A and B are shown apart, each in its own frame.
Chain A
Amino acid sequence: MNDPVVAKRPAGSGDTGAVRGVAAAPTATEAPIPPTPEASETQTKVHVRPGDRIFRGLATGSGVFIVAIIGAIGLFLIVQAIPSLGLDNVNFLTSREWNTTDPANLRFGILDLLLVTVVVALLALLIAMPIAMGIALFLTQYAPRKLARPFAYVVDLLAAVPSIVFGLWGLFVLGPVLFPISTWLIDNLGWIPIFAKGNVNVQLGGTVFTAGIVVAVMILPIITAVSREVFERTPTMHVEGAIALGATKWEVVRTTVLPFGKAGYISASMLGLGRALGETIAVAVILSTATSSFGFSLFDGGSTFASKIALAAPEFNDARSAGAYIAAGLVLFVLTFVVNAIARSIVAGHKEYE
């Protein structure tokens, strides 16, 4: 709802320029590098009260704190993962084995986790992307004006449902419903590798298929919310121009809204992908753990990074074994960091969204 992509007015507002009544504000929005407040203060010798200095320090300190936290997350995870990585008896990146029960003989590799994580997230994205675009278009272009707000609220409600509830629903309610569909797909399309019979009991529903669908539902609100913000910003002139040329509703959308919002929509989908990669408890509850490795079938089970860590976490007691999971967490952190950074940079490159 309150996503960062929403309008960012130039934040020059209450700056020192306003104090001095100098007409610095309008130019500050265009100048690439406005004069720093410190410099301008010394020029005009504005008396800075102690209260101001303290408050400014607190505010700036909080900003620094946020930057430091992200650094600390990376640093602490790296520092505590390294000793275990050194003790790892198999290749961390290419092994499919995960055995940390004996701290003296650690054997852990992330390949299987990475594959399951990526496949679940991509399946979720594949399902959620077209639907989210439909909803965003519906809310901005098609829904009756008066109903658009309540409808948007309904979609946001999806984000309010805790992920554990989605997980339990997926396991106990959706899984059994999907069972006939799964068996049909396996029986009739089993020759296609992604529909092959998997390494877990389909009847229990703990497959990548179920998990992907549930995660798709969970990332719908974020993709919708961000796309909606962008679609709403389509210049009215473009829309009216298209209407004046006799375009149908769909042609208006196709020629004005979609080209304008494309980058925002892609960015929104990346944010959704980030969520899907990190989704923890719903996946942990749904996915059955498999004994054999992941075979690229939708009906395989397994573990994602997040679900593996979550399920093992209560038994963390040896620093060396815990380090293996921290290493997996680090990979997940880097993965989501990169995906989110790409999403942000796409939007940052489009000044018209501001």
Chain B
Amino acid sequence: MSTLSADPQRLATPPTFQKVGAARRFKNGLATTLVWGSFLVAVVPLVWVLYTVVQRGFPVILDGDWWSKSLSGLLARQQGGGAYHAIYGTLVQGLVCGVISVPIGIMVAIYLVEYGGRSRLSRATTFMVDILTGVPSIVAALFVYTVWITYFGLGRSALAVSLALVLLMVPVVVRTTEEMLKIVPDELREASYALGIPKWKTIVKIVIPTALSGILTGIMLALARVMGETAPVLVLAAYAPFINFNMFDGPMASLPLLMVNERNNPTQAGFERIWGAAITLVLLITLFNLLATVISRALAPKTK
């Protein structure tokens, strides 16, 4: 084409396709660089944090004692001991929270998708779920404090922590379940209705099982998230360096609480406890995330 531009046969009109000007190319290149750069900038802290946690914490958790002993009877500067009391606390508080949140969350999602339609209550619920998603964990903890401790006069306990975590977990469960229920094809519901199956049975036997993989994935991710919450345990549970199996009474440790407690401990033992607990918590959360992936893989074909 460029051969046409010989002077005698110069085109009357400029060619339709012009080369992109230098300024436009420069802007395009700059934008591309910035966009790629911003992604790299986000990866830096992630890698940095994970590297810090692994490098400092990994040697600590290799010790079998870490998983099987508590810090009972140890002084701040004494090395050794373990975090099983805190691991127990984190797991049990998370699980109790899950047991309460999952039914509520799923029922709210069922209401929104299957019953609510566009009614006023439905819109109010959607709005409130959005707001609840944004409630800071410290406010949730304070609320449970005002109800549980000031109003009912009950003591600080692991159960109170679980209740505060419920407030943080329910909106996440509602959101994921809602999304999953919405993608269940209407044909399935209609086929069930056509066979004379009551609506509630259709939901329980047809709609929920179809969406199960996604719902379980969401629950796992929500659990992973609440287990890392620190503010509620700080407000609602006292720390104990020993194991406490009782959810209803007495101080109970958890991994975040252990870290907060040891952060002002300048000794080598404190250093080991902080980062050991950090990597344990990250590992637990990773485990739940992996579990979520496994569940969604195992049950996925049903939704397709």
Contact = CB atoms under 8 A, between A and B. Distances in A.
Nearest to A79: B146
Contact of B137 (A34, A66, A143, A278): A278
A12 interface: yes
Interface in A214-269: 217, 220, 224, 246, 248-251, 253
A63 interface: yes
Contacts of A319: 150
Contact of A56 (B132, B141, B200): B200
Given A60-B115, A66-B170, A6 B128 contact: no
B3 interface: no
Interface residues of A, number: 115
Interface string A293-307: 000000000000110
Residue in B128, B139, B150, B170 whose Cβ sees the most chain A Cβ within 10 Å: B139
Given A28-B117, A249-B32, A281-B230, A336 B143 contact: no
A44 B294 CA distance: 46
Dominant secondary structure of chain A at its interface with chain B: helix
A304 B254 CA distance: 24
Contacts of A62: 104, 107-108, 110-111
A267 B231 CA distance: 26
B136 interface: yes
B167 interface: yes
Contacts of B122: 11, 63
B36 A138 contact: yes
A16 B207 CA distance: 15
Interface stretch (A47-55, A105-113, A180-188): A47-55
B167 A310 contact: no
A95 B11 CA distance: 78
A151 B281 CA distance: 23
Interface stretch (B47-55, B240-248, B295-303): B47-55
A204 interface: no
Interface in B85-138: 104, 107-108, 110-119, 121-122, 124-138
Contacts of B14: none
B53 A165 contact: yes
Nearest to B204: A55
B52 A173 contact: yes
B201 interface: yes
Given A18-B193, A329-B138, A333-B139, A63 B234 contact: no
B134 A66 contact: no
A37 B117 contact: yes
B8 interface: no
B117 A73 contact: no
Given A77-B143, A162-B228, A309-B138, A63 B111 contact: yes
Given A164-B259, A333-B135, A51 B200 contact: yes
Nearest to A345: B127
Residue in B27, B49, B52, B113 whose Cβ sees the most chain A Cβ within 10 Å: B49
B278 A168 contact: yes
Contact of A250 (B31, B53, B175): B31
Contacts of A8: 182
A281 B146 CA distance: 20
Contacts of B194: 21
Interface in A140-198: 141-143, 151, 154-155, 157-166, 168-169, 171, 173
A244 to B, nearest CB: 12
Contacts of B174: 66
A280 B231 contact: yes
Contact of B201 (A51, A130, A217): A51
A95 B27 CA distance: 50
B115 A59 contact: yes
Interface string B201-244: 11110010000000000100100110111110011001000000
A352 interface: no
A70 B193 contact: no
B189 A18 contact: yes
A343 B131 CA distance: 10
Contacts of A310: 138, 230-231, 234-235
A281 B256 contact: yes
Nearest to B45: A217
A14 to B, nearest CB: 5
B111 A59 contact: yes
B207 A168 contact: no
B284 to A, nearest CB: 10
B49 A67 contact: no
A69 to B, nearest CB: 7
Contacts of A340: 130-131, 133-134
Contacts of B207: 14
A12 to B, nearest CB: 6
Given A158-B45, A163-B230, A73 B53 contact: no
5 contacts: A12-B118, A13-B114, A151-B39, A278-B134, A336-B139
Interface of A: 1-4, 6, 8-16, 18-19, 21, 25, 28, 33-34, 36-37, 49, 51-52, 54-56, 58-67, 69-70, 72-73, 76-77, 79-80, 130-135, 137-139, 141-143, 151, 154-155, 157-166, 168-169, 171, 173, 217, 220, 224, 246, 248-251, 253, 271, 274-275, 277-281, 285, 305-306, 309-310, 313-314, 316, 319, 322, 325-326, 329, 332-333, 336-337, 339-341, 343-344
Question: Nearest 9 pairs between A and B by C-beta?
Answer: A278-B136, A134-B38, A162-B228, A55-B200, A59-B111, A62-B107, A340-B134, A250-B31, A281-B230
Given A2-B221, A59-B114, 19 more contacts: A9-B182, A15-B114, A63-B121, A76-B151, A155-B39, A155-B42, A160-B228, A162-B229, A162-B256, A162-B281, A164-B278, A248-B20, A248-B28, A253-B31, A275-B134, A278-B134, A278-B138, A310-B231, A336-B136
